[in-house]
Amino acid sequence: MGLCPHEPIKYLMILKKTEFFIALGGVARTFCHPNGRVRLGVSNQIKRKNMKNMKTVTLAMIVALNAGLIASQTQTDSNIYVGVDIGQTTVNSTTKLSSELLVDPYTKGSISSDTQESGFSQTLKLGYMFNANNRAIAFYQNSSAEDVKVSMYGVGYDYLIGESSFQPFVGVFAGRSSVNDSKNDLDASGMSYGVQAGVSYALNTDISLEAGYRFMKANMEQSASYNDTAYGYPATLKETAKVDTLTNMFVGVKYKF
């Protein structure tokens, strides 16, 4: 079979049933066959159809790629964050000594003293961002001073103001605390609750710096009664030590997964 001297044509024409055709680069040429000949070619209509199919396939690939990127981003983004802060905690406690004479129960007396101890604090936090303005946290805090050690764990909620990189926030929290005060011979635990306020500054989408102030009301009290003398008479003495409030100034960092 050889190439016959015929000009290229635009349309395909089959001359005999036993003939065949081959398309080369969209140019029609005539090839000789032992049993006849056939003219080969690709029409402009076929070219347009092929280009349309290529565009459709390309568009489908782009859509699939974008969908994959969006799905990948959705899978990697998380609203969970962890945080740590350090600061200073001040424990305000009261010690009260009351007496009741055994010979005269109506004769009573008491004396009280207030103490204040400050120390270094560390707080670990695990949180969840519902959106740009609302978050929930679980935390554990440990504070220690010269004579007092306080630990607390609990949960809280913060509301962040605005949606810029700089966001003030206010929040509430509650939990359980324990205190060991060797100076006032206090070893107790109880519920604690409080409020906090501060600011958060986002360095990027994952890391933020925070600073703030916490105020906590505690319900930790311990009492002891014993017989002794008061005013020279036998009496029942009762000693009560309790933690009234705790305050905490802090700075920290938060990392969002």
Structure confidence by residue, pLDDT tens digits, 149-205: 999 999 999 999 999 999 999 999 999 999 988 877 778 899 999 999 999 999 999
Q: How confident is the model over 19-28, as a mean pLDDT?
A: 41
Residue with the two structure tokens 């899978």: 75
Compute how many other C-beta atoms are within 10 angstroms of the C-beta atom of residue 18.
11
Per-residue pLDDT tens over the stretch 34-57: 444 444 444 455 455 556 655 665
Compute how many other C-beta atoms are within 10 angstroms of the C-beta atom of residue 103.
8
Q: How confident is the model over 92-98, as a mean pLDDT?
A: 84
Is CATH 2.40.160.20 correct for 80-256?
yes
| pLDDT reading at 21 higher than 80 | no
Distance of alpha carbon 42 from alpha carbon 98, whole angstroms: 111
| Residue 12 burial (C-beta neighbours within 10 Å; 0-12, 13-18, 19+) | middle
Q: How confident is the model over 122-149, as a mean pLDDT?
A: 94
Compute how many other C-beta atoms are within 10 angstroms of the C-beta atom of residue 64.
10
